[in-house]
Amino acid sequence: MSSVPSATFVPDSDNQLRLRLTRTQTQAIDFQPLTQEITSLLDVLTTELTTQSDTVQSIAEDTEQSRIHITKGNRQLQLQNERPHTLRDFLLFIIILFSILLIFLDWYTP
């Protein structure tokens, strides 16, 4: 015979009691308010994400329109630089001529 005492498996009653208590508490928890709160939070999240998506889409459209307007403006500036300046030069000549004529008439008149 062996000198080691034979150990018979006896379930730990304290652990068994804790397990039963935990199962009872888990079953006793009412998940309905928790589920409703999660649902309401998901609704709020969905609403906010939709609003954010619309805002981002609007910003993207505004950015594209701004790019188009800037391109058109740059094109018009290039066309303006390529046009001859004849009208501007003619008006400048007339203004200077009339100014000199006015000074001369003021000097010449007794």
| DSSP annotation string for 27-73 | HHS--HHHHHHHHHHHHHHHHHHHHHHHHHHHHHHHHHHHHHHHHHH
Question: Tokens at residue 54, please?
Answer: 């619309």
Q: Provide the number of structural domains found in the chain.
A: 1
**Look-up of token digits 């006015």:** 102
Domain extent for 43: 37-108
Domain assignment present for residue 100? The answer is: yes
Per-residue pLDDT of the chain (110 residues; tens, 9 = 90+): 445 555 455 456 777 777 777 776 666 566 677 888 899 999 999 999 999 999 999 999 999 999 999 999 999 999 888 877 788 889 999 999 999 999 999 888 87
Q: What is the DSSP letter of 83?
A: S
Domain assignment present for residue 51? The answer is: yes
For the whole model, what pTM was predicted? 0.47
Which pLDDT score is estimated for 74?
95
Domain assignment present for residue 90? The answer is: yes
